[in-house]
Amino acid sequence: MVSDEELKTHIEQVEREPSVSGPELADRLDEMESTARCVHDELARRVERVDAGSADEAALADLADRLDGIEARLDDLESRLD
């Protein structure tokens, strides 16, 4: 993530550049669109991984609870055998 100052500097630099038109503008817009798609796709993949990771954590928590219950039952059985 860029700082406010870096963003301000970039905007000022773009504003000072001569305006772009014609095929050069179309090329720049295509490049920007392609970059935006790549960033969007990467963010979507990261969100999916986080969601998948959260689901795994929930499943692990459920499994841990079940194991605790089994362990408690085993402890109860052991105490009866003693």
Task: Give residue 1's pLDDT.
Answer: 58
- Say if 49 falls within a structural domain: yes
Tokens found for residue 22: 């014609």
- Say if 61 falls within a structural domain: yes
The H-or-E segment that residue 32 falls in is helix 22-81
- Say if 6 falls within a structural domain: no
- 24-72 pLDDT, tens per residue? 878 888 888 888 888 888 888 888 887 777 767 777 888 888 899 889 8
- Say if 4 falls within a structural domain: no
Share above pLDDT 90 across residues of the chain, in percent, rounded to a whole number: 0
Task: Give residue 82's pLDDT.
Answer: 62
- Say if 25 falls within a structural domain: no
Domain residue limits at 81: 35-82
Strands (E), 14-79: none
Total number of domains constituting the chain: 1
- Say if 12 falls within a structural domain: no
| Distances 23 to 16, 29, 45, 46 between C-alpha atoms, Å | 20, 10, 33, 35
DSSP label at 82?
-
- Say if 56 falls within a structural domain: yes
- Say if 23 falls within a structural domain: no
